[in-house]
Structure 1
Amino acid sequence: MKRILLFLGTNLAILLVLSAFIQIFGLDQWLADKGVGNTTGLFVLATVFGMGGSFISLAISKWMAKRMMGVRIIENPSNAAEQWLVQTVQRQARAAGIGMPEVGVFESPVMNAFATGMSRNDALVAVSTGLLQNMDRDGVEAVLAHEVSHIANGDMVTMGLLQGVLNTFVIFFAHIVARMLMRDERGGGLAYFGVVIALEIVFGLLASIIVAAFSRYREYRADAGGAHLASRRKMISALESLQKTYGQSDMPKEMAAFGISGTLGQGLKKLFASHPPLEQRIAALKQG
């Protein structure tokens, strides 16, 4: 709740500062001459659509993850392995000070795992069959600790709200620039909306660089949290095991940022990578 109030407060503060800036420097008249119109009203609408979409995505994140990944929730463990899995997450969640997440397994030959959910006390941790089959228990324990740390850090909420704030500004500035370029349209017409869509794509790409940078940062934090909950040795060992198949992922694009193993990027694509290279994550843990 604190994070939600913080980001809503941030959006409101930005709106007030932006409005004051426009008034003080007389930009309201200049923008009006350019055909922009009511910037405050536009920003409010952009916030509704930008933040609204993000909140909806966050609210249904668990539901979507279960269906997109075919996650089987372990409600009543049917064997010793499932019993160990649930007990390990339960112990780590207690140590991290969060509510017990749902625990599930999804079919995939790739060693991977993810966490998602609306809040620290309403989350999901899921592991692939490939992870359970190809990694020893120490490694799986570390991977689970990494995912529990994501939940404890509030990373899913922060990521969603960051995306919402950026979406707000993408929509806002796309309309501002479009109105300046097409004064005769005054915010209407097919040509105008075509320009808006093109600008939203361009600004959206720039915004995704910011989101990806935060995503890479949160992986380092989750690794450190995993080392604390499991052990540094186990966390390093788990990441070293993941190096064997790193760069492989059969997770949908919408879910890729939530997995412990991400896809590799070359050149400019590194700016859009959701995960840092594993060798850098391992080096960070070793430096401690």
Structure 2
Amino acid sequence: MMRIILFLATNLAVILVASITLRLLGVEPYLNANGLNMNALLIFCFVFGMGGSMISLFISKWIAKRSTGTQVIEQPRNATEKWLLDTVAELSRDAGIKTPEVGIFPAQQSNAFATGWKKDDALVAVSAGLLNRMKPEEVRAVLAHEIGHVANGDMVTLALIQGVLNTFVMFFARIVAHLVDNFLRSRDDGGGLGFLGYFAVVIVAEIVFGLIASIIVAWFSRFREYRADAAGAKWAGSAAMIGALGRLKAETEMPDQMPDTLTAFAITTGQTRKVMERLFASHPPLDDRIRALKESSYR
């Protein structure tokens, strides 16, 4: 089940590489003869935890382009591409942001995403399948939804939340490793975990705490989808936004359709029922999103 990908996967990779590198080089200033220096440990974890998140944010657009095969429209080659550019420009003016780059990626499923490290340096992309299956007003609603993500600063907020969580993941992982090391020392008066043992406990603890942190990130991701849907309804019309979500729902109910991919950015996930799936789902169920729009004031 792919739930932590692109931004989250890059962030986790940066944290793990940093942990491995710093441990191997012995650059861990929070350890001293008296044990852990909590203030130094917290500062250390904040610098590297937030750093991992910021690196993920800064390269998010680059990763998204290459991982999806998105082709940015520099000069429109046909009427569809010109309409896309004009529509995104119009919606961006409504949202009060600089027009993002616009791209198309070669997926047959109806999908779309928005990413970028700031509002005025973003990318909005739609799949070829979405363009083929949806009506123009529904495509416009999807684009408005993605512009809503950009205007709301969702990627920046996500990065800040992830950075804070990274800090505590690294912090508590090292506390756990230190406690285990002290416990073993007291039992056998030996060397405790040793270099490799301490290193292994830190990595395992970071993975475990990282999964717990992902539940919080997933909750925020689900929350931001409702806000983006409201933006789509505001700028493209509630009927068009509901129609687009309804079409996505119909596709998800078809056999072998809509694989759970690009969940960090895409609009077509969330059809989950099991408790663990719901905890890690980056998007709410489509039925819930449609219900929320029907109950909203955007008509």
Same fold (TM over 0.5): yes
1:208 and 1:39 map into 2 onto residues whose CA distance is: 24
Once the two structures are TM-superposed, the CA of residue 246 in structure 1 deviates from its matched residue by 2.8
Quick one: distance in 1 between partners of 2:280 and 2:41? Answer: 29
Is 2:202 the partner of 1:210?
no
Does the 8 Å contact 1:246/1:263 carry over to 2? no
Report what 2:38 is aligned to. Answer: 39
1:262 corresponds to 2:269: yes
How many equivalent pairs are there?
255
**Given residue 246 of structure 1, which amino acid in structure 2 is its aligned partner?**
T
Shifted more, 259-268 versus 233-242: the winner is 259-268
1:36, distance to aligned residue in structure 2 (A): 4.2
The one-letter code matched in structure 1 to 2:210 is: G
Residue identity (%):
55
Q: 2:63, 2:126 → 1: CA distance? A: 16
> Residue 103 of structure 1 aligns to a residue in which SS?
strand
Distance 1:142 1:174 in 2: 43
Change (3 A) 1:176 1:99: same
1:245: Cα distance to partner?
2.1
SS at match of 1:124: strand
Task: Report deviation, 1:257.
Answer: 1.8
TM-score normalised by structure 2 residue count: 0.81
CA–CA separation in structure 2 for the residues paired with 1:187 and 1:165: 28
Q: What amino acid maps onto 1:133 in structure 2?
A: N
- What does residue 168 of structure 2 align with? 169
Match of 1:276 among 262, 281, 284: 284
**AA paired with 1:269?**
E
Contact 1:101 1:122 in 2 (8 A): yes
Partner of 1:221: 227
The match for 1:83 is 82
Letter in 1 for 2:207: I
- Which residue number in structure 2 is paired with residue 286 of structure 1? 294
Residues of 2 paired with 1:123 and 1:83: CA distance? 19
For residues 178-257 of structure 1, what are the structure 2 equivalents within 5 Å? 178-183=177-182, 184=185, 189-246=195-252, 248-249=257-258, 252=261, 255-257=262-264
Partners of 1:80 and 1:105 lie apart in 2 by 14
Cα gap change, 1:225 to 1:66, in 2 (>3 Å) = same
Deviation at 1:186, TM superposition (A): 8.3
Of 45-54 and 90-99, the range deviating more from structure 2: 45-54
Any residues of structure 2 matched to 1:143-154 within 5 Å, and which? 143-154=142-153
Cα distance in 2 between the residues matched to 1:245 and 1:168: 40
Gapped regions of structure 1 (runs ≥ 5):
1-31
Report the CA distance between 1:264 and its aligned residue: 3.3
